[in-house]
Amino acid sequence: MLVYTKQPSLFREYMENEYEYLSITPYISCLIDDEEYGKHLKNMGVIFEYEMAFEIELLPVRSEYIELDNNYLYCIVGSTIEMQACIDLKQYALYDLDKNMFKTAIDDKNLILADGNNVNSEQYLIGIFDIVTHSLELKKIPVIYNMAKFAKNMILDKLVTEILTMAKGIHIYYEKNIKERYDNNNGYIQTAIFTTDHPFVSFAKIAGLREINTLDLKRQYRHSDMYNDIFFEQIPDNEMIYIHLNMTAPKNEHFYNNLGFEYIQTLAQVRFLKGTKLQFNQAKNTIKDFIATNFWPKILNIVTTQSEFVKIQDVSNEHVLVKTIDKIPPASAGIQEIYGGKYSENAILMEDLILAIDNLISDAKLQSKPIVIYIPYGTNISSHDGSDILEDLINTYALQPGVTIITTAGEEGDKHHHARVTTSTYKEESTIRVSQRDNNIVGCIWITYPQNAKVKLISPANKVYDISLPKIHQTSEGTIFSRGNQISATNGSINILFRMKNVRKGPWKVEIQPTDGKKTIADIWLATQELNPYAHLQDADPFFTIPSIGNIPSLICVGDYKEEMLTITKSSGRGYTRDNRITPTFVSQGSITDIVSIYTNDPTPNTPIMSYLISEKLHHLDTVNYPNPMQGYGIYRGGNNA
C-alpha cells in the first residue's frame, strides 16, 4: 500500500509495532498490502491518503542517441531492450528495477536506462530514489522521463514528483491523452510535465535551462504556444487571423460556428478556424486543446519580377494558367507589422494562398482538366526546408494527378538577408546593419537540431539583449520582441522569431554561443527586400536564399539565368535547402512559356512527373558540375532550343 502522511512521527508510532514499512522521504512510505488497516489509519487522521500497491507496465520506446547536456543526469524509465540496442552501450548505464540495483558501471554516464519485468510500486519508488540520490552525488540535475503505465495514477504521481521536487529535478511523463491526465491530476502535479514527445526531444527542450523553474518548463511543454506567445499578444483584438486545428479537434462545423468562428476544411483535410483575436481569446478555455502547436502566421510577398511566368499557357489544349495574384487578399497592416515588417500591398497570408490553390484545383477537377499553378510568393521567415505544416500541404497538392505547381527561386541572392554562423566550442557573431530609423525588422534564426545555444543581440552602444528567452526588451530608442528558443514540432530544430522596431541605426551584433560546448550551425534570415528595406546582414552569403515555397520538396523551383553570360543572375536565389536537398530544380533564361506544352491530354502527370519530363530538355555547361545549388539540375532554354 502507498501512503502519504503529513504526520510522519505519529505514523511511525502507529506502524513500528504493527507492520513493516519503508520510508523514502519524510512523507512517503510503502507498506504491505492491508487495505482495511489503511482505511483505519486514514479515519484516525494518521495518514493523509493511501492507495493499494500495484504492478507497473513499462512501455517500449525507440531512439538514436544524441548529445546530452552534461549538467543533467538523464533517466528513461521503461526503456526496454529495443532501446538499448539503438544506443551505444558506452553512453548509458542500466538500472534493474526488479532488483533495485545498477547492472553496469555508472561513474562517467549521464544517461540511465531503467527497466524491469514485473515491477511493483515499491520497487519503482526505490528505483527512482536510487537514481535521484546518484544524481545528487554527481551534483547533477536529475531528469526522469517516465514511460511507466500506471494502473492508478494519483498517489504515485504525487510521491514520485515529490522526490524530484526535493532534488530540484524534472519529472516528465509520456502520456498519450495529455488532457485527461492533467484533468485527473489537479492538485497532485507540482513540477511534473506530461508530453507525447519522444524522450530525446524532451531532453533537447530543457537543454540549457540553467535554473529550473516551473514557468520555463510549462513554456516548453504547452499544448499550443499561441496563448503564451509574445508575438500573438501584440495582435490587435479586432485583427482577423487563422489558427490550425490539431488531429484531435472536433469535426463538427456547428461546434465552431456557435463560437463565432468560420470553419474551413481544405481538400487535403487540413482544418482552420478564422476569427478575430478577441474571439480566440474569449473561447480560450473551450478550444485551447484543439489548436495545433507553433502558431506563426507566414507573411508571403511576391519575390520575383519575372513577368514571363504569368504568361504560361497551354495553347494546344486550351488550358490557361489563371493569374490569381489579384484574387488573394493582402494581409492586414496589423498582421504584417508583427510578422512581416514593412507593409506591402503584395503581401498575403499563407492560409489565403492555400485557399486559392484549393479553389483552383477544385475548378480544374470540375472541368476535368489538368492544371498548372505558378506561385510567385515566398518568405525568408521560415525554416527553409519545406517542413512547415502548410508547406507540407502544398507538397501534398503537388503530388496529386493532373496538378503541377511551379515556383521561383526569388531574387534574394544579392540582398544580404542570410548568414550562416558555425560555432566550435565558443561563441561566434554575425552583424545586422540597420540603415534607417523608423524601422521594423523581422528576422528568424534556425539552429541545427539537436544543439542548443544562447543568442544575444548587442546594440551599437554595446547593450546586450538575450533573445533566447521569450521577452520584450525596451532599448534606448525602440523595442525588441523575441519568442525565445522554440522547438519546431515539424522538424525538431530550435528556432527564434524576433522583431526589432525603431531600434538605433548602426551595427547590431548577433552573438551565438552553444550551451554545451558542441559545434552549432545557426542560419539567420531577415525578411525579404520588399518587407525589409531597413537592414541587411554585413557578413551575408548568397546561399540558402530561395524563399520558403521554393524549398518544398515536390515543387518545380526555377531560378533566373542569363544566356549571354552563361550564369545565373546575381539576384537569383541559391540553394540548397537547410536540410541539404537540391533546389532550384533548374534555371531558365526567362522565356519558359512553352513548359506547359509538355502537358498532354492525359491528366495523370503531377509535379514530380513534370519535373522529370522537363529534365530531359535541360542543358549542362561543360565547366559546371550538376546538380549544384545555383543551377540545380541544369538550364532550360525553351522554344526550339529546348
The matching CATH number, chosen from 2.60.120.1290, 3.40.50.300, 2.40.128.20, 3.40.50.970, for 418-537 is 2.60.120.1290
Contact 319, 599 (CB under 8 A): yes
Helix or strand holding residue 301 (H, E): strand 299-302
Residues 6+ apart with CB under 8 A from 612: none
- pLDDT given for residue 29 in this prediction: 63
pLDDT at 368: 83
How much is the pLDDT for 186? 44
Please spell the DSSP secondary structure of 407-451, one letter per residue.
Answer: EE--S-TTS--EEEEEESSS-EEEEEEE--SS-EEEEEEEE-TT-
Query: Residues near 360 by Cβ (< 8 Å), separated by ≥ 6?
Result: 322, 324, 371, 373
- At 370, phi and psi to the nearest 5? -70, 165
Segments of the chain with pLDDT less than 50: 62-65, 183, 185-190, 223, 307-321, 600-601, 640-642
Q: CA–CA separation, 143 vs 21, rounded Å?
A: 27
Assess contact for 200 and 63: CB atoms under 8 A. yes
Res 87: pLDDT: 57
| H helix or E strand, kind and range, residue 397 | helix 389-398
Could you identify the residue written with the cell 480566440? 280
The confidence score (pLDDT) of residue 312 equals: 44
Predicted local confidence at residue 198, as pLDDT? 73
* Topology of domain 299-413+547-641, CATH: Rossmann fold (3.40.50)
H-run or E-run covering 362: helix 350-366
DSSP type of residue 606: -
d(CA 141, CA 390): 38
- Determine contact, residues 605/402, Cβ cutoff 8 Å: yes
What local confidence, expressed as pLDDT, does residue 309 receive?
44
Predicted pLDDT at 30: 63
pLDDT value, residue 261: 96
Secondary element (H or E) of residue 509: strand 506-514
Closest CA to 44 of 3, 75, 102, 86: 3
Dihedral angle over CA of 15, 21, 23, 29, nearest 10: -90
Q: What is the pLDDT of residues 125-136, one digit of tens each?
A: 888 889 999 988
pLDDT of residue 74: 83
Sheet of 348-349, strands arranged across: 348-349, 299-302, 377-378
For residue 620 the three cell numbers come to 549542362
Domain ranges, ordered by start, for the chain: 2-51, 55-220, 226-290, 299-413+547-641, 418-537
pLDDT in tens, 39-90: 777 776 666 666 666 566 665 554 444 556 777 888 888 765 555 555 555 6
CATH topology of domain 226-290: Ribosomal Protein S8; Chain: A, domain 1 (3.30.1370)
Predicted confidence at residue 164, as pLDDT, reads 81
pLDDT of residue 22: 64
Q: What is the 3-state secondary structure (H, E, C) of 21-87?
A: EEEEECCEEEECCCHHHHHHHHHCCCCCEEECCCEEEECCCCCCCCCCCCCEEEEEECCHHHHHHHC
Q: Residue 59: count other Cβ atoms within 10 Å of its Cβ.
A: 14
Give all strands of the β-sheet with 506-514 in edge-to-edge order: 464-466, 453-458, 506-514, 428-434, 535-537
Identify whether the C-beta of residue 519 lies closer than 8 Å to the C-beta of residue 377. no
Cell numbers placing 641: 532550343
